[in-house]
Amino acid sequence: MILPDDFVFTQSNLQDYLDCPYRFYLRHIRHTRWPALVVDDAVAFEERGQIGARFHRLLQQYLLEVPETRLTDLAAADPSPDVLNWWQDFLINVPPWLSGIRWVEATLHAQLAGFHLAAKYDLVLAQPPDGLVIFDWKTSKKRPRKEWLLNRVQTRIYRFILCKSGSALLKNATVEPEQITMQYWYAAFPTAPISLPYDARAHEKDQAFFTRLVNEIGSRKADSFFRTEETRHCRFCVYRSHCDRGTQAGDLAAFEDEELENETDLQDLDFEAIEEIEF
Amino acid sequence: MLPTSEQQALIEHPISSKVFLQGLAGTGKTTAGALWLQKLILSGIPPHQILVWTPQRALAQPYLDALRQMDQPVFSLLNTITLGGLARRMVDLFWPAVSRVVGVANPDLPPHFLTLETAQYYMAHVVHPLIVHEGLFSSLTINRNRIYSQILDNLNKAAIVGFPHHEIGDRLKSAWIGDVEQIHIYDDVQVCVNHFRSFCLAHNLLDFSLQVEIFLQHLWPSALCQGYLTRTYRHLIIDNIEEDPPVAHDILRTWLPEFDSALIIFDENAGYRYFLGADVESAYTLHRSCSEMVHFSDNQVQSLPITHIQSGISRAIASLNRKPEPSADLMPEDIRAGLETPGEKIKYFPAMVDWVADRIRTLIDAGVPPGEIVVLAPFMPDVLHFSLANQLDALGIPHRAHRPSRSLREEPATQTLLTLAAVTHPDWNLLPKRINLAFALMQAVNGLDLVRSQLLTAYTYKEFAKENAFPLQPFEVVPPATRDRITYRVGERYDRLVSWLHSASQEDPQTLDFFLNRLFGEVLSQPGFGFHNNLESGNTIATLIESIQKFRWAVGAQIGPEPFTIGKEYLQMVQDGVIAASYMHSWEQPDEDAVFLSPAYTFLISNRPVDYQFWLDIGSPSWYQRLDQPLTQPYVLSRNWQEGDLWDAEDELSAAFDSLHRLSLGLLNRCRKKVFLGMSELDVRGYENRGLLIRIFQQVFQQAQKGAA
Ligand code: SF4
């Protein structure tokens, strides 16, 4: 096994593995940074990522009870008009759904087949009588189909880990799958959140799926993380030159069409992964 | 491993305790802390409610390991934090709640957090004109980058010691007893500090000092932030509290009553980071906020001879410092077992390196794992590192250093990319010298050695091209005979590169980082080019691009020049050594079972005992002398400095003894078996040095002789 003992599986590294085992190997085991572009229009891509991050930060601040008026000031001063529009839509639509006990940016951890899994949630809400709602804010322009979201690694792992480890939030009370709902809120479609309730069957399937997946990854040797045969993944993969899978980055519109997301920063599990300044 | 009796006694305290644990290094305090953490979790406390606070992130690793090694399921993750990380994170989270009162010009815009690099850049931006036009620091002959970094250092000290930044100059002046020139220098420091702070506030730039100040003055006292922190974290473990600065202790002092439990670990005789503001006295006062005091005294590391040598060193220092202590039981057999010096006098430094390498080989031949050996010097200058590394390589002995030996700007991959960027932008007026371009092409194009690259550029590169003309010409301008020599295959690759650069030069301006992303992805990492399968260079270039990107974010948004101007500015700053001067991280996992070559303080702070230590260059005064920093003074800017006191030669000597005492004892606390003393009459720079450490060891040897008599 070449996975380090302290390796933690997350939605983004598992998605990488499912897209391409070799990408997983390069990025998460070898820590190889390969500074090519993900998409052709790097400026727009960066800008969208930053706007999304600023909006996420506003919501986080709202949930931590920073005064709403100040947040509105910041949204109004934001260089992107999207932020103020989304913010206003949020204020109109979302707060009524937020009653209950909140855990903002909570990180949960689970052990599975001897491996570590973790998920960082935008918001987990405990609602009477015993519901647990996972909120996830999205700023992508498109709203995907429900079926697509149901199969997404993020949906599966978020619900699965909350079911296994939610007791850490609930003073050790166990969590049944039926208590859990995953709620995606798309800022561009503010009145139509997508709600994905969990159940025991889905939980069983997830248990089998993640067990098989982590065992498979854990048992691979360095030379058996093969390059994907689905070359469409290579268009938006920075390693494409290293793999002889093309010269130019794929275009941004196609990236968005494929409902891919540029959210790596937001999924960072490590609060302290900022430059540690020592002078 | 089973807990020692002291560790067992500690973890038997009820989990609601607030314990102050002290002891020397090597007594198993951190292990006890890890056991305490496991006990908390076993009692049902979820890890996310536990905060592990350390002065450096790396020092929290034993706790993360302890969590991972637990047999029972763990449902959430531990939070580890440093003072700087906490300040940065709280300012980021609660900025809108305080931005109107912190004095920034645009409180409705988010702040820009400066990295070390971008802070240094802005300091240069603010101070350079003052030096050139106003004649500040005219009596100083040091490198300007050292001026910038020392001014930043002063600002940071003010923040972490907890006094107003506008008092820096007066504090430094009040303790000075020398010539008036130095007083002017301190005045100039204050002028620069004031300018820099005003500039930051005007542009929403938060350097480290401003982050800490905003946190301390506005956020920590607020119910919003404090409520969030006290709700989130219920249990506290602090390790190496003595290495934190006083404002960290202030916060913890007020926070401690809020926690359900706390364990504070204090390393006696440490405080090695005093030059970074560590304050042992203030750390120790935290024991008053704890209900229990626990002392560990059983050293788990040292052999008896090392313990005796340690006492011998203490006595020698006391005697040299004219505070003699009664002699004790150091015997010749202690020296034989615990200390080794070269059999004969060594005159030159290379022979000393030979001796070190030879002794290391002997140890390894005798079965010592390389990871149990560390080679220490007060600093580890490149020349010493290279000589040692070469010798160990020749012997096939694995070794690792605390840092690679080259800075980002010196990496060939960095130079290649920046040279090609300069060529593509002739309007920057930064065209490289022909030899530098030849070097870059050699790196970039497979099959091109330096001789052929020079031949190629002799024909194709117009170093003094006119009117911003693109300076590279195609391969066809090279005479046929030379083309044959270079080969057509290489020529075809060269043409692909040049044609790509030429098209890029015709396009609309793009940012330097994205330009380099494309150059790397579309050409230089493609088959036939230098970085195709070079994963390590990929990492270097990624670091470079990240540095440019952060520079663009910090500079572009605030000062607003065109993207291309930022690229040019970046390149100039690299050439001036202001940025890209930090050392590259290696993304390869370090080989732990390797001889570690390290500056003494870095090893101390890494908290990892070994069997064998080599102390090199022990005649050097650098073992105890302060760095030459004419713009700052760590003792005078500390909280322990009494207003009105003067810093004189006696203080300097006493500080030297004190730091030597802590350092040598700290090293011996991390040594299990033996210390080898590397001495040569002439040091690495050819100077004859007979500093205090040599004299101390002479006394130690004399004590042992007396012990025998
Ligand atoms: S380029 Fe394609 S094959 Fe290579 S790592 Fe990326 S996805 Fe995998």
**Domain count of the fold of chain B:** 4
B159 vs B154: CA distance, rounded Å: 9
pLDDT value at residue A168: 87
With CA atoms as reference, report the closest residue to A140 among A249, A36, A14, A256.
A256
Which pLDDT band, with edges at 50, 70 and 90, does A232 fall under? Answer: very high
Q: Mind listing the pLDDT tens digit for each residue in B176-203?
A: 998 999 999 999 999 999 999 999 999 9
- Which segments within B256-412 are labelled E, that is strand? 261-267, 292-296, 339-340, 373-377, 399-401
Q: Tell if the CB–CB gap between A77 and B522 is shorter than 8 Å.
A: no
Q: Residues B696, B637: one domain?
A: yes
B510 vs B259: CA distance, rounded Å: 52
Q: Tell if the CB–CB gap between B77 and A107 is shorter than 8 Å.
A: yes
* Helix, strand, coil share (%) of chain A residues, nearest 5: 45, 15, 35
Q: Which atom of ligand 1 is nearest to the CA of A233?
A: 7
| Residue B222 belongs to a domain | no
Token couple for B170: 């007066």
Q: Residues B333, B286: one domain?
A: no
Q: Residues B188, B94: one domain?
A: yes
SS3 A37: coil
Is the CB of A227 within 6 Å of ligand 1?
A: yes
Q: Tell if the CB–CB gap between B82 and A272 is shorter than 8 Å.
A: yes
Are B175 and B636 in contact, with CB atoms under 8 Å apart? yes
| Residue B625 belongs to a domain | yes
Q: Which residue of A has its CA nearest to B538?
A: A34
Are A222 and A22 in contact, with CB atoms under 8 Å apart? no
pLDDT value at residue A268: 42
pLDDT value at residue B318: 86
With CA atoms as reference, report the closest residue to B186 among B171, B199, B198, B165.
B171
**Ligand 1 test: best mutation among A16, A226, A228, most atoms within 8 Å of CB?**
A228
| Residue B228 belongs to a domain | no
pLDDT value at residue A272: 41
Contacts A124 to B, Cβ<8 Å: none
Which pLDDT band, with edges at 50, 70 and 90, does B505 fall under? Answer: very high
Share of chain A above pLDDT 70, in %: 92
With CA atoms as reference, report the closest residue to A114 among B69, B37, B76.
B69
Which pLDDT band, with edges at 50, 70 and 90, does B403 fall under? Answer: low
Q: Residues B374, B313: one domain?
A: yes
Scan for tokens 């004095």, then name that residue.
Answer: B103
Which region among A111-125, A154-168, B323-337 has the lowest average model confidence (pLDDT)? B323-337
Token couple for B419: 């040279």
Q: Tell if the CB–CB gap between B516 and A65 is shorter than 8 Å.
A: no
Q: Which residue of A has its CA nearest to B81?
A: A272
pLDDT value at residue B639: 94
Helices B649-669 and B692-708, packing angle to 10 deg: 60
| Residue B582 belongs to a domain | no
Query: ipTM of the predicted structure?
Result: 0.91
Between the CA of A243 and the centroid of ligand 1 the distance, in Å, is 6
How far from each other are the two terminal CA atoms of chain A, in whole angstroms?
Answer: 39
Residue B131 in this model has a pLDDT that exceeds 90: yes
Q: Mind listing the pLDDT tens digit for each residue in B585-611?
A: 554 445 678 999 999 988 888 788 999
Residue A40 in this model has a pLDDT that exceeds 80: yes
* Mean pLDDT value of segment A137-161: 93
Are A102 and A132 in contact, with CB atoms under 8 Å apart? no
Q: Which residue of B has its CA nearest to A245?
A: B526
Residue A278 in this model has a pLDDT that exceeds 60: no
Residue B561 in this model has a pLDDT that exceeds 70: no
Residue B496 in this model has a pLDDT that exceeds 90: yes
Burial class of residue B26 (count of CB atoms within 10 Å of its CB; 0-12, 13-18, 19+): buried
Cα→Cα distances B491→B353, B438, B448, B497, B518, Å: 46, 14, 9, 10, 21
pLDDT value at residue B247: 97
Identify the sign of the CA torsion B588, B589, B595, B597: positive
| Residue B676 belongs to a domain | yes
B418 vs B424: CA distance, rounded Å: 10
Scan for tokens 């070799």, then name that residue.
Answer: A22
Residue B692 in this model has a pLDDT that exceeds 70: yes
| Residue B290 belongs to a domain | yes
Q: Residues B487, B570: one domain?
A: yes
Q: Residues B530, B645: one domain?
A: no
Rg (CA), chain A: 19
Q: Residues B324, B417: one domain?
A: no
Residue A269 in this model has a pLDDT that exceeds 80: no
Q: Mind listing the pLDDT tens digit for each residue in B654-685?
A: 999 988 999 999 999 999 999 999 888 887 77
| Residue B206 belongs to a domain | yes
Share of chain B above pLDDT 90, in %: 65
Token couple for B522: 């579309």
Contacts B526 to A, Cβ<8 Å: 241, 247
Are B37 and B67 in contact, with CB atoms under 8 Å apart? yes
Across-strand partners of B237? B52, B263
Mean pLDDT value across chain A? 90
The alpha-carbon gap from A86 to the nearest alpha carbon of chain B, in Å, equals 17
pLDDT value at residue A270: 44
What are the structural domain ranges in chain A? Answer: 8-269
With CA atoms as reference, report the closest residue to A263 among A198, A191, A184.
A184
Nearest CA residue ID for atom 3, ligand 1: A227
Nearest to B85 among A106, A248, A272 (CB): A272
With CA atoms as reference, report the closest residue to B550 among B115, B207, B199.
B115
Is the CB of A34 within 6 Å of ligand 1?
A: no
Nearest CA residue ID for atom 7, ligand 1: A234
Residue B582 in this model has a pLDDT that exceeds 70: no
* Mean pLDDT value of segment B435-444: 96
B442 vs B432: CA distance, rounded Å: 14
Identify the sign of the CA torsion A151, A157, A163, A166: negative
**All residues at 6 or more sequence positions from B298 whose CB lies less than 8 Å from its CB, including other chains:** B4, B5, B6, B27, B28
Cα→Cα distances B280→A123, B2, B242, B266, B370, Å: 41, 31, 5, 9, 34
Helices A153-165 and A200-219, packing angle to 10 deg: 100
* Mean pLDDT value of segment B143-164: 95
The 3-state secondary structure of B307-326 reads: HHHHHHHHHHHHHHCCCCCC
pLDDT value at residue B279: 94
Helices B692-708 and B304-320, packing angle to 10 deg: 120
pLDDT value at residue B37: 97
pLDDT value at residue B332: 81
Q: Residues B165, B93: one domain?
A: yes
B110 vs B98: CA distance, rounded Å: 11
pLDDT value at residue B560: 55
Between the CA of A153 and the centroid of ligand 1 the distance, in Å, is 19
Q: Which atom of ligand 1 is nearest to the CA of A21?
A: 8
Across-strand partners of A9? A117
A33 vs B587: CA distance, rounded Å: 9
Which pLDDT band, with edges at 50, 70 and 90, does A22 fall under? Answer: very high
Mutation target vs B (from A45, A121, A241, A276; most B CBs, 10 A cutoff)? A241
A233 vs A19: CA distance, rounded Å: 7
Q: Which amino acid is at B578?
A: V
Q: Residues B617, B501: one domain?
A: no
Are B583 and B404 in contact, with CB atoms under 8 Å apart? yes
* Mean pLDDT value of segment B350-379: 94
Residue A277 in this model has a pLDDT that exceeds 70: no
The alpha-carbon gap from B384 to the nearest alpha carbon of chain A, in Å, equals 25
CATH of domain A8-269: 3.90.320
Between the CA of A21 and the centroid of ligand 1 the distance, in Å, is 8
Angle (CA) B413 B419 B422, round 5°? 145
Q: Mind listing the pLDDT tens digit for each residue in B108-118?
A: 999 999 988 88
Q: Residues B359, B503: one domain?
A: no
| Residue B327 belongs to a domain | yes
Question: When comparing pLDDT for B251 and B701, which is higher?
Answer: B251
Give the domain extent around B659.
304-405+590-708
pLDDT value at residue A236: 94
Strands laid side by side in the B292-296 sheet? B79-81, B50-53, B235-238, B261-267, B18-23, B292-296
pLDDT value at residue B374: 96
Q: Tell if the CB–CB gap between B48 and A106 is shorter than 8 Å.
A: yes
Q: Tell if the CB–CB gap between A35 and B589 is shorter than 8 Å.
A: no
Q: Residues B595, B571: one domain?
A: no
Q: Mind listing the pLDDT tens digit for each residue in A173-205?
A: 789 999 999 999 999 999 999 999 999 999 999
Residue A275 in this model has a pLDDT that exceeds 50: no
Q: Mind listing the pLDDT tens digit for each residue in B228-238?
A: 999 999 999 99
A93 vs B130: CA distance, rounded Å: 54
B300 vs B3: CA distance, rounded Å: 11
pLDDT value at residue B404: 57
Is the CB of A17 within 6 Å of ligand 1?
A: no
* Mean pLDDT value of segment B86-92: 96
Q: Mind listing the pLDDT tens digit for each residue in B295-325?
A: 999 888 888 899 889 888 988 888 887 777 7
DSSP A8: E
Q: Residues B414, B562: one domain?
A: yes
